[in-house]
A and B are shown apart, each in its own frame.
Chain A
Amino acid sequence: MPEWVEPVVRYILTEGLPATLRVSAIAVVGSAVIGVILGTLLTIEFLPLRALIRLYVEVFRGLPILVTVFMVYFGLPALNSALEYGPLTATSIALILWGSAQVAEATRGAVQSIPAEQHEAAAALGFGWLGRHRSVILPQAYRRLLPPGVSLLVNIIQNSTLAAVIGGIELLQAGKSQTERLTFFPPAGIGEIHAFEIFAFVAVIFFLISFPLTRLAAYLEKRLV
């Protein structure tokens, strides 16, 4: 193998991959927690609250995620200098805004698919609204949320590449910076273009992560529904 390969691969795997995984993990957990809460609240009757959450969901599902990333990365600091985040954190926040909107919509559907008798039975047993949802409704709704949840994970991992647009070093940006480095003259680079090999390598890493997950989502969909 040519000499340039080893440092490039090492940089992508040690600098890029952990960042992609970290951004994705934060975004998935944040989206799940906020999304389930908002989605459950979407099923209650109080209109102003529902309208507010509905607006949140429609706005962040409607915007291109890149625009949301720009809003967090460029827009928030322009509003208040205390809200300045690094590219990776800003991407995580944007992905949580988008992902939680997706989860909220899915949760609303899942909660509403639980028969009314379950609510009534739980209420008859003395559960309040919170206990009823936490102990009876949501555990049943989770089953329906699992397949779209895995699909969301795949989407979040792939969309974490948006960090590259604002200079955050994740898999894609790591590949890009190595591609650029190799085009420099020695000692920094070797004065050659290897964009194809490097971006193909990045694509392969994403494929190896995503493919088993999309299979899993399809399998769960078949089994749980």
Chain B
Amino acid sequence: MDLLAYDLSAFVSENWRELLDGLVNTLKVSAIAIAGSFVIGLTLGAARAHRIPVVSQLTAVYVEVIRNTPILVQIFMLFFALPQAGIRLNAFTTAWVAVTLWGGAFNSENFRAGFEAVPKRYREAGLALGFGRLGTFLNVTLPIGGRISLPSSINTYISVVKNTSLMYVIGYAELTTTAVNIAALSLETLEALTVLGIVYLALVWSLSAAIRVVESRLALPEER
């Protein structure tokens, strides 16, 4: 391995098609997982904050299991252990299911905390105005609590994007797998790692910048 042979532009111009496909797969899995963990987080977080029987307890178990085991072990369970029970998921399905389950668990905690932070008297005011329980949730708890949970849930989405890189272990051709596999053949290790570093940092940094804008737009009036 010769440092003098380092040639980033040659690496990119030779492999940009594959790298772009990898990036698209990363974004595809991330988008599905972000949407999925938003829905899971919102519903299960609301169920927990309102102490809905059974759903609330089952959510607690789901959250604790996901939070207290490594996501890599979860991916192994889905991809290597489930086939033993006759359930075979392909790499793409495993990829989005794994990060969605992971993000959903963390996100339901984010939303629960947000909803629980809404002062009780707001909800009582909603009920007194004649909204039903669902109406109070949709018109009072959700707009206020949802904004309170926004920063932490967006951090979860950023982690979801980063965690798609773990799909390397099941050979799903997202960005990390693609770049590392190219490097394994061409020995252009440093070039591949440079590309990975630049693309992931660009993704994560622009997401966090976008977040700050959204956050300030949606901030509750007293926090502006």
Contacts and interface: CB of A to CB of B under 8 A. Distances in A.
A71 B204 CA distance: 18
Interface string A9-36: 0000000000000000000000000000
B68 A64 contact: no
B70 to A, nearest CB: 4
Interface residues on chain B, size class? 35 or more
Contact of A66 (B65, B68, B70, B168): B168
Contacts of B169: 164-165
Nearest to B65: A207
A67 B69 contact: no
Interface in B139-170: 162-163, 165-166, 168-169
B69 A203 contact: yes
A62 B204 contact: yes
B77 A74 contact: no
Nearest to B162: A64
Q: Is chain A's binding surface mostly helix, strand, loop or mixed?
A: helix
Contact of B189 (A78, A164, A176): A78
Nearest to B184: A74
Contact of B67 (A65, A161, A214): A214
Contact of B193 (A74, A164, A179): A74
Interface string B12-49: 00000000000000000000000000000000000000
A63 interface: yes
A79 B3 contact: yes
A62 B90 CA distance: 29
A199 B70 contact: no
Nearest to A62: B204
Nearest to B82: A196
Interface string B197-210: 10011001100000
Contact of B76 (A77, A78, A176, A193): A176
B192 to A, nearest CB: 9
B80 A179 contact: yes
B134 interface: no
Q: Is chain B's binding surface mostly helix, strand, loop or mixed?
A: helix
Q: Which of A70, A172, A175, A207 is packed against the most chain B CB atoms within 10 Å?
A: A70
Nearest to A59: B201
Q: Which of B73, B81, B190, B204 is packed against the most chain A CB atoms within 10 Å?
A: B73
A143 B201 CA distance: 32
Contacts of A162: 72
B173 interface: no
Interface residues on chain A, size class? 35 or more
Nearest to B204: A62
A109 B203 CA distance: 25
Given A74-B189, A75-B193, A207-B65, A161 B201 contact: no
Nearest to A204: B69
B162 A206 contact: no
Interface string B70-102: 111110110011111100000000000000000
B176 interface: yes
B81 A207 contact: no
B189 to A, nearest CB: 5
16 contacts: A58-B201, A62-B201, A62-B204, A64-B200, A67-B193, A67-B197, A70-B193, A71-B197, A75-B189, A79-B3, A161-B72, A172-B76, A195-B81, A195-B83, A202-B73, A211-B68
Interface of A: 58-59, 62-67, 70-71, 74-75, 77-79, 154, 158-159, 161-162, 164-165, 172, 175-176, 179, 193-196, 198-200, 202-203, 206-207, 210-211, 214
Given A63-B204, A176-B80, 7 more contacts: A62-B201, A64-B162, A64-B165, A78-B189, A193-B84, A198-B81, A199-B81
